[in-house]
Chains A and B, each alone.
Chain A
Amino acid sequence: MGTLESESAEGSRAVATVPGVREEILDNGLKVLIQEVHTAPLASVWCWYRVGSKDERPGLTGISHWVEHMNFKGTTNIPREKVKGIIEQYGGYWNGYTWIDQTTYTETATRDALDHMLFIEAERMANGLYDPADVESERTVIISELQGGENDPEQLLDQELTADAFHAHPYRHPTIGWLGDLQTMTRDDLFGYYRQHYLPNNATLVIVGDVDTDEALRSAARQFGGIPASDRPKTRYTPEPEQLGERRFTISKEGTTAYLKIGHRAPAATDEDFFALLVLDAVLTGAKGLNLWASFRTPPPQRSARLYQALVNTGLASAVAGGLVPTQDPFLYTISLTATEGTSLDSVEEATLRALENVRANGITLAELQKARAQLRARLVFEQDSVSNIAHQLGFFETIATWRYFPAIGSRIEAVTLDEVAKVAAARLVSSNRVIGRFEPR
C-alpha cells in the first residue's frame, strides 16, 4: 500500500493514493496503477489504450481490432518466432481485446515473470514491426473471425441493431469492422493508426498481484520511461442527435429459431442515471455485475426477475438477457430474447413491451430495489476473485472515465433510490428511444 509521502520511482510523480492502489504518472505521461494482492504467487499486467472502434473513420472500420492482432506479431526486440513462449515459460496466459472505447493487452503469470510482461508491453507500445506479409495473413484470419460471428444469428442481430441505433456517433459500426474495409485496408493504414494512438500518454499500465509496489514501479519506469510522448490525436465524436421515433428492422434469413432484440439508448458510465439503470436492469433481467472480463462466466440470478417471469415462465421465450455495459459515451441498454419453437415474435414483443410499459408507469418496489442491491453487492465480491479480474477493472474504468470510479461502485449502487429508478425507467424505456430488431428464420 502506498501513501502520499512514499518515495516515487525516478522519472515519475506521485499523484494520489487510495488504500490499496498506487497511482503514478511517468514523465512521458504513462499512467501506472499498482495494487498489491498477495493471495497467490501471481502477477497480472494489463496495458490499456484509449483507442477503440469509435476512433475509426469511414473506410477504416475494424482498424483498431486489426492493429491489436498485429501487435502480437513481433517487435524490434521480440522477433516474430519468439513472441510465443516468453510468458508460457512462467505458466502464463496472454491475450488482448478491442471494443468500442478501448484496446487492451494482458499477461497473467507467476510473479517472477513481471519484468518479462512489462518488457513485452513496452515493446508493443513502441516497436511493432507490421511486416507486410503478416498483414496479409492476418487479413484472412480476421475475415474468418467475422464470418464465424455471422454464423450466429444473435450476433448478426446485435450488429444490425447497433448500426440502426446510431446514425451519427461512431459507436454505430461493429468493432470487427465492415467486410469491405477489411478487404481493402493497407499495411500503411494499420501502421499509421498504430503510431498515432500507441503513445505512453494515451495508455494506462495496471499491475496487480504478489508484487512489491515500489519495485514494480521501478520496473515499469525502466521499461517504459524511454518511450517518448507525442501529441494525442484529438478525436471528436459526433454526438448522437435526438431520436425522433421508434426504429425497427427485420433480418430475414435461413435458420431455425426466431430472436428479438430491443435496444434503448443508455447513459454513459459517468452519467448520474447510469447506476439507476443498472439497478433497473437487475430488476428486469438479473444483476450481471460490471466486469466485462468476468461476467460472462456465471449466469445472472434472473429467475425471479421481471422479464424472465413475463417471457420465459410464460413459455414465450426460452431465454432472456439484459445488456448494460459502462461506456465513455452514451451507448445501449439491450434486451435479447429467444422465441420458443412455434411462438411468434409478435407475441414475444408484445409481452416484453407490456412489461417495460408497466415498469415505466409504476417504477419498481422496495423489495425489488433491495434485491437488486444485494445481487449487485454479491456480484462485486464474486468478480474480485483473481488478480486478473481486479486489474481489469482498474484499467477498464481508467480508460473510459477514471479508475476511482471502481472503488466507488458499491456506494453508488447503495445510494440509488426508488425514485431515481422510476425516473430512469420513465425517461428511457419510451418508444422514441428504442430500436427493435427481429431475426425471422426463413
Chain B
Amino acid sequence: MKGLDPTRRVLPNGLTVLAKETRTTPAITIYAGFHAGTLYDPIGCAGVAHFVSKTIDRGTTSRTAEQIAEELENRGVSLSVALNRHAMWLVCTCLSEDFEQVLAIVGDVAMRPVFPESEVEMRRSEIVTLLRQDQDNPASVAMEALMRMLYGESHPYGRPMRGTLDAAATISARDLQQFHQRRFAPQIMSLALVGDLDPQRAVDVTTAVFGEWPSTAATVAELPPVVPAAERRTQVISMMNKAQADVAYGFTSIRRLDPRYHAYSLMNNILGQYAIGGRLGDSIRERQGMAYYTFSSLDASFGPGPLIVRAGVSPANVERAVASIDAELAKLAAEGPTVREVVESKQYLIGSMPRTLETNAGIATFLQTAELFGLGLDYDVRLPALISDVTREQVHEAARTVLDPSRATVVVAGPYSGSLQ
C-alpha cells in the first residue's frame, strides 16, 4: 500500500516542510505549527500564549493589521490562529493561484509580528469579554475546574488556557514580543502544505519565504511529572441562572507515545465514542433518556493528558447521571469489553481513515500530528495494523488501570446545589 507518501524536507534552518499534492479542489491548505502552546506561558502569567494568538496577525514590520486583512480577504482567505497546550497553529485555505502571496503573508505574520500598542489594547478588551463569557458558560467552567483539580496549578495542564482576568489586564506588548522571540523559530516549526500544488514547488516557495529565518536555541520543553489521583474528588459550581448542568468527570491518562496508546484509544472508543457515545451514550442517552450529549475523550499528548467523560443533564438528574457514569466505568474495568465491541471499534477506527484523509485540512492535520509525535511518514500505512494488533486483554487492562470511580475527579457546573458523592 502506497498511502499518503508525503514529501518531508528539513530546511537548513531546521524548519520542517510536509507537502502532499491532491486534486480535489483548486485550493491549498496551509497549516503552520509552532511549539508555542500555553505550556510556554511564563510562570505566574497564564494567558500570554492566548494573548499572542489574538494579536500575532495584527501587524508586522512591513504590513499594518489593515493591510494583512485586506491582502488576505481580497483573496477570500481568513487566517485562523489555533492554540492548545503544546502548540500554536496558523491555518488557512487559499485558491491555488494565490498560494505564493498567501504563504508570504503567513510567513510575515509568523516571523515579524510587531504587536502594536493600539492593537494590543483593542484585543485586550476582546479577551476580557471572552473570559467573562467563559465564566457564564457551564461547560467551560466545569472543564477548567476539572483540569485544575486533575493536574494542579503547578502543572501546565492545570492552568487555564486563556489565562485569568487579572493577567489579561496586565499583559503588555513587551510580554507578547518576548513570547514570540522565545517560541517562534524555524527549528520548532513544521509547515504542512496540502492541496493542488507540486511538492517540489511547496518546498521551493517555503524556502523563499522562510529560508533566511535564523534558528535559535529554543527547544521543546519537558513536562513536570503527574501524580494520578489517589481518591475521589468532587466539586459543585452552582450557576443557578442556567437551565442545564454540565458534568465533567475525568482521570489523568497516558502519553501519546506510550505503547499502550492504541489500547487506550480503543477503550475510549468503546466507552464513549462508538456510534454516538459508546456505552455511555447507550446508557445515559438511549436507555435512560437523560442527556442530549454524553461522550468520552482521550487527549494523550506529550504529557499524560486526560481521559474525560462529559454529559449535559437536567439538574434533577445530576446524581443519577454521575451514578450511571460510575457504573459504566466500573463495569468496563471489571469485565472488560466484549469480543464484539473490540472487533467493531477496530473496524470503525481503521475504516474511518479514508474519511479522515479525504480533505486537504484532514490530511494536513494528520501529517502534523504524525510530525509532532514523530510517528513517521508512513504512519497512515502502519496505523491499521497498530489498531488491529491490540488484544481484548490489552483494552481490558487499560480500562482496569484508568477507569476507577473511587479515584475519579468529578465536577458539576450548572443550576445544581446538591452535594455530590
Whether B292 and A145, one on each chain, are in contact in the complex, defined by CB atoms closer than 8 angstroms, is yes
Whether A91 and B348, one on each chain, are in contact in the complex, defined by CB atoms closer than 8 angstroms, is yes
Pairs of residues from A and B, 7 with the lowest C-beta to C-beta distance, nearest first: A91-B351, A378-B76, A137-B289, A84-B275, A254-B241, A303-B69, A91-B352
What are 26 sample pairs from A and B whose C-beta atoms fall under 8 A apart? A39-B22, A42-B354, A91-B347, A91-B349, A91-B352, A91-B354, A91-B355, A109-B351, A141-B290, A142-B292, A150-B243, A150-B244, A254-B240, A256-B136, A304-B69, A305-B73, A341-B125, A342-B125, A376-B76, A377-B76, A378-B76, A381-B95, A382-B76, A385-B358, A385-B360, A385-B361
The answer, among A153, A301, A313, for a CB contact under 8 Å with B122, is: A313
Find chain A residues with CB under 8 A from B359 CB.
385-386
Residue of chain B at shortest CB distance from A88:
B348
Find chain B residues with CB under 8 A from A341 CB.
125, 128-129, 132
When A and B form their complex, what is the total count of cross-chain residue pairs whose Cβ atoms lie within 8 Å?
Answer: 195
Find chain B residues with CB under 8 A from A109 CB.
351, 355
Whether A39 and B23, one on each chain, are in contact in the complex, defined by CB atoms closer than 8 angstroms, is yes
The answer, among B78, B138, B241, B292, for a CB contact under 8 Å with A300, is: B78
Residue of chain B at shortest CB distance from A210:
B354
Given A91-B351, A109-B351: A139 touches B77 (CB 8 Å cut-off) = no
* B135 beta carbon closer than 8 Å to chain A: yes
The answer for the CA separation of A387 and B125 in the assembled complex, in Å, is: 41
How many chain A residues touch B (CB < 8 A): the figure is 72
Whether A286 and B78, one on each chain, are in contact in the complex, defined by CB atoms closer than 8 angstroms, is yes
Whether B129 and A138, one on each chain, are in contact in the complex, defined by CB atoms closer than 8 angstroms, is no
The answer for the CA separation of A395 and B398 in the assembled complex, in Å, is: 44
The stretch of B152-160, B184-192, B206-214, B280-288 in contact with A is B280-288
Find chain A residues with CB under 8 A from B312 CB.
144, 147-148
Find chain B residues with CB under 8 A from A91 CB.
347-355
The answer, among A147, A255, A287, A385, for a CB contact under 8 Å with B25, is: A385
Find chain B residues with CB under 8 A from A146 CB.
243
Determine how close the nearest CB of chain A comes to the CB of B137; give it in whole angstroms: 7
Whether A153 and B128, one on each chain, are in contact in the complex, defined by CB atoms closer than 8 angstroms, is no
Determine how close the nearest CB of chain B comes to the CB of A159; give it in whole angstroms: 12
Give the B-binding residues of A (Cβ under 8 A). 39-42, 84-85, 88-93, 108-110, 136-148, 150-153, 253-257, 286-287, 298-305, 312-313, 315, 318-319, 338-342, 370-371, 374-379, 381-382, 384-387, 441
Residue of chain A at shortest CB distance from B274:
A88
Other A-B pairs, 10, CB within 8 Å; known A39-B358, A136-B289, A341-B132: A84-B282, A90-B351, A144-B292, A151-B244, A152-B137, A299-B80, A379-B76, A385-B24, A385-B27, A441-B136
Given A108-B355, A147-B244: A378 touches B289 (CB 8 Å cut-off) = no
Find chain B residues with CB under 8 A from A88 CB.
274-275, 344, 347-348, 351
* B26 beta carbon closer than 8 Å to chain A: yes
The answer for the CA separation of A93 and B353 in the assembled complex, in Å, is: 12
Whether B353 and A318, one on each chain, are in contact in the complex, defined by CB atoms closer than 8 angstroms, is no
Whether B292 and A318, one on each chain, are in contact in the complex, defined by CB atoms closer than 8 angstroms, is no
The answer for the CA separation of A302 and B354 in the assembled complex, in Å, is: 33
Q: How does the 8 Å CB contact mask read for B273-309 relative to A, with 1 for contact and 0 for none?
A: 0111000001001111111110000000000000000
Residue of chain A at shortest CB distance from B345:
A88
Q: Main SS of the interface on chain A?
A: mixed
Q: How does the 8 Å CB contact mask read for B257-276 relative to A, with 1 for contact and 0 for none?
A: 00000000000000000111
Determine how close the nearest CB of chain B comes to the CB of A75; give it in whole angstroms: 16
The answer, among A89, A286, A298, A378, for a CB contact under 8 Å with B80, is: A298
Determine how close the nearest CB of chain B comes to the CB of A11; give it in whole angstroms: 32
Whether A147 and B129, one on each chain, are in contact in the complex, defined by CB atoms closer than 8 angstroms, is no
How many chain B residues touch A (CB < 8 A): the figure is 73
Whether A139 and B289, one on each chain, are in contact in the complex, defined by CB atoms closer than 8 angstroms, is yes
Whether B122 and A144, one on each chain, are in contact in the complex, defined by CB atoms closer than 8 angstroms, is no
* B170 beta carbon closer than 8 Å to chain A: no
Find chain B residues with CB under 8 A from A141 CB.
285, 289-292
Determine how close the nearest CB of chain B comes to the CB of A79; give it in whole angstroms: 14
Find chain B residues with CB under 8 A from A375 CB.
73, 76
Residue of chain B at shortest CB distance from A367:
B74
Determine how close the nearest CB of chain B comes to the CB of A136; give it in whole angstroms: 7
Whether A151 and B125, one on each chain, are in contact in the complex, defined by CB atoms closer than 8 angstroms, is no
Whether B132 and A301, one on each chain, are in contact in the complex, defined by CB atoms closer than 8 angstroms, is no
Residue of chain B at shortest CB distance from A84:
B275
Find chain A residues with CB under 8 A from B132 CB.
256-257, 341
The answer for the CA separation of A384 and B242 in the assembled complex, in Å, is: 39
Whether A93 and B355, one on each chain, are in contact in the complex, defined by CB atoms closer than 8 angstroms, is yes
Whether B358 and A140, one on each chain, are in contact in the complex, defined by CB atoms closer than 8 angstroms, is no
Determine how close the nearest CB of chain B comes to the CB of A78; give it in whole angstroms: 13
Residue of chain A at shortest CB distance from B26:
A381
Given A39-B23, A84-B275, A255-B241: A340 touches B354 (CB 8 Å cut-off) = no
The answer for the CA separation of A255 and B95 in the assembled complex, in Å, is: 42
| Chain B stretch 71-96: residues in CB contact (< 8 A) with chain A | 72-78, 80, 93-95
The answer for the CA separation of A84 and B136 in the assembled complex, in Å, is: 35
The answer for the CA separation of A375 and B95 in the assembled complex, in Å, is: 10
Whether A42 and B351, one on each chain, are in contact in the complex, defined by CB atoms closer than 8 angstroms, is no
Find chain B residues with CB under 8 A from A253 CB.
241
| Chain B stretch 350-371: residues in CB contact (< 8 A) with chain A | 350-355, 357-361
* B314 beta carbon closer than 8 Å to chain A: yes
The answer for the CA separation of A109 and B359 in the assembled complex, in Å, is: 14
The answer for the CA separation of A370 and B80 in the assembled complex, in Å, is: 23
Whether B78 and A301, one on each chain, are in contact in the complex, defined by CB atoms closer than 8 angstroms, is yes
Whether B74 and A374, one on each chain, are in contact in the complex, defined by CB atoms closer than 8 angstroms, is yes
Given A91-B355, A140-B290, A386-B358: A301 touches B77 (CB 8 Å cut-off) = yes
The answer, among A92, A287, A305, for a CB contact under 8 Å with B352, is: A92
Residue of chain A at shortest CB distance from B96:
A381
Find chain B residues with CB under 8 A from A300 CB.
78
The answer for the CA separation of A257 and B24 in the assembled complex, in Å, is: 42
Query: Max chain B CB contacts within 10 Å: which of A256, A319, A342, A377?
Result: A256
* B126 beta carbon closer than 8 Å to chain A: yes
Residue of chain A at shortest CB distance from B69:
A303
Whether B76 and A144, one on each chain, are in contact in the complex, defined by CB atoms closer than 8 angstroms, is no
Given A144-B292, A150-B244, A318-B125: A384 touches B25 (CB 8 Å cut-off) = yes
Whether B80 and A381, one on each chain, are in contact in the complex, defined by CB atoms closer than 8 angstroms, is no
* B222 beta carbon closer than 8 Å to chain A: no
Whether B72 and A301, one on each chain, are in contact in the complex, defined by CB atoms closer than 8 angstroms, is yes
* B18 beta carbon closer than 8 Å to chain A: no
The answer for the CA separation of A138 and B70 in the assembled complex, in Å, is: 49
The answer for the CA separation of A303 and B126 in the assembled complex, in Å, is: 14
Whether B137 and A151, one on each chain, are in contact in the complex, defined by CB atoms closer than 8 angstroms, is yes
Residue of chain A at shortest CB distance from B65:
A303
Find chain B residues with CB under 8 A from A340 CB.
125-126, 128-129
Determine how close the nearest CB of chain B comes to the CB of A30; give it in whole angstroms: 27
Find chain B residues with CB under 8 A from A370 CB.
74
Whether B70 and A110, one on each chain, are in contact in the complex, defined by CB atoms closer than 8 angstroms, is no
The answer for the CA separation of A256 and B122 in the assembled complex, in Å, is: 19
Find chain B residues with CB under 8 A from A255 CB.
136, 241
| Chain B stretch 327-359: residues in CB contact (< 8 A) with chain A | 344, 347-355, 357-359
The answer for the CA separation of A150 and B243 in the assembled complex, in Å, is: 6
Given A147-B243, A378-B95, A385-B360: A41 touches B130 (CB 8 Å cut-off) = no
